[in-house]
Structure 1
Amino acid sequence: MDRKIGVVGLGYVGLPVAVAFGKEHRIIGFDINENRISTLIQGTDYTNEVTGEELREASIDFTSDGAKLKEADFVIVAVPTPINEHKQPDLTPLIKASETVGKNLAKGTIVVFESTVYPGATEEVCVPVLEKFSDMKCGVDFFVGYSPERINPGDKKRTFTTITKVVSGQTPEVLEIVAATYASVVKAGVYKASSIKVAEAAKVIENTQRDVNIALMNELALIFDRLDIDTTEVLAAAGTKWNFLNFSPGLVGGHCIGVDPYYLTHKAQAVGYQPDVILAGRRINDDLGKFIARTLVKKMIKAGIGVQGAKVTVLGLTFKENVPDLRNSKVIDVIRELQEYDVEVQVTDAEANAKDGLREYGVSLIEMDDLEKADAVVLAVPHREYLEKGWDNVQSLLKDGSGIVVDVKSVLPLSEKPEALKLWRL
């Protein structure tokens, strides 16, 4: 059966999903952001996840009118699930999306959620909202499923169609329909989870596992820094063992690894369990930005650079390399901590939009050519452009071609470092 599919939320997750399905099915692409809809209609994806050609090849009716969802019999919800200032799950976008879907739910429709949640959220939170606003009964008049997103922003190799898709449904019959629908576009195939809760849990532990492993690397970096040992060299040596896991230290931001563990810890605490290991990992990763800034300040003092009024250039503000997304970037922690020491920080980013920098953090992004010479440079996000320009570019940003360089992710080749530069890296 050819499904008429509606996709709710056209961000980093929803748009690639809509485009993939749009090559095989009729798609309604819904988003509350009218500017987003307008630019997509014009054939532009400002997140750079899909090309203009891919947009043209897909049969998608882009709209901000929720009533259009009445035409769908299979609705995929792919909205953000952030945390609030208290690091608790903020389900507001998911609840609002469920309200919109509920108001425009046709009888017999299957609603599949892709947003990352804690185990039980689909049935405990979303289903009651769908029932309330549709005035229909779940399991009788409409049905639900869960299929966790696995989109990796900026990754052009591992895409929606080439990653195995975990699927689940509230009944065996619904599961088969959900599986068949996704299998029609996902070349890597589908994995049928035994229940919605299992699928939800599988997703939330994927990023929790990465978070804890990176936290271990960050803690090792803190230890090795005190021992005056280069962490990258230690990891390279240890990595020669066949079963040594390939993780490295760094800032952990974005809306997955730095957020998802809090959904699991929230649910764990709700059922009376204190998840010490997960929360310890979160604490280490959340504090890393301050450690980087304080280390730089110490290096400046040792080098005889007056900290108060010193100028530091930060390369990169996005949450990861080669993407324009600034949300939940941990680079801002480095910037704020440096400013606490009265350091003058100037920030540039090869990918981000200047308006987004002001809106998200009140940071004015400066074009590379307009940067003033600095006492130190922090390569915070290794965008492709910075790597291509290499050491020469970094050195050109410093006063008299000398100063301190902080290479957060240890990407600049040690063998090519100019002698006039003092380097510190995690």
Structure 2
Amino acid sequence: MKSKLNVEHIYVLSVVSAFALLFFANADQQKAPDGTVVQLGIGKLFYVPCAVAFIASFFLSKTRDKLDKKLIWLMGVAIITSIIHPPYGTNILSWTLTRFLFAILCFKDIRNINPLLLARYTAIISPLIIFPHYILTNPFGYGDWRYGGFYGDANFLALALNLVIALCYISLMKCDGIIFKCLCILSILGAIPLIMVGMSRGGILGLLVLLFFMLRTLRRYNKRIFYCVLIVGFLSMGSFTTKFGGIIEGIEYRFLGKLSSDANGARARIEGIESVCNVMVNCPYLIPVGIGLGNTVPTINEYKYYGYYCRFAIHNTYFSLFYEAGLIAILLYLYIYIYAFKTLKKGRNYLLIGLLLSGALSLFTLPGTTFMPGWIMLFLLSNKKNSELFIIDK
């Protein structure tokens, strides 16, 4: 029993380490205000904790259910479509198929661990994730105005930070210790400005959904604290609006599409969806297994004759997976959402339902087929022991 417990801790620590490294792995080079380049030197270290998690997963205590079978089918479909339509390039690690399989094989056993362990360990390291972004990878100091962070894209950064916020909030409510609770509060408060400054529309909408369910849960848990939070938030609104007026105006412009780049970005997303529909209508034989994982950009010229007129990758996880892996794969992928939603709805865990909706909303605007935090979130929300995360009324 003790050895199984130790393996569970090793697995969770590996997952959390991989998650944390992703915040910096693609931000190796950062420009300082004086023009010099800061080398973080992280690179592909991400694969080390992934390998540890994969090995540790074999020793975890687990039970099989319908979703486990669906995941096996999903990996099988991904392999079949890549055999029919082989990936381009010779670097196996860069293949979408490889990263897709990595995501499932390394993180699927999050469903079998105590989810509170994942929340607690994430909360412990969250200050090391969030506050370096105020120096190295965000617009306050280093980097570009919007794209200085996660994967070089504020949209991905926002989705990952929303997951950190939810896990810190759960730890705040479920774990003891004044210092630990203070770290959780600081991490939550530190993550919100990073999302706002990034001006990711999907990320901000996801944050609002998450905050709504956090407040809803807080009201059920402790009405006094709930009203204190509302009063403090209302009183600080004026100074916040004054200090960050430029950022708020920029967010307003982005949502209204007043900037040409924003209008083009929204149009590009629509073009991607329309292009997928055109190709599937004109080439119905592609519907079952798609064009092959990761083959969207390399085959643009080939499929433009069938209606693919978008010049970029599809910025929509669901349509992207449908286009590249086919109808069977997207149905299996959506089954994970349905399974998670039914489980959370049955337990009336509104906070995690909010996280699920927040993540689904963000991934609707992002090419997140191999986005590791997205998979971590999905497997966490479909955990077999999610009652451990329920915040019960006092």
TM > 0.5: no
Structure that is richer in helix per residue: 2
Structure that is richer in strand per residue: 1
Q: TM-score, normalised by structure 1?
A: 0.28
1 or 2 for the larger relative contact order (CA 8 Å, sep ≥6)?
2
Answer with 1 or 2: which has the greater Rg. Answer: 1
Q: TM-score, normalised by structure 2?
A: 0.30
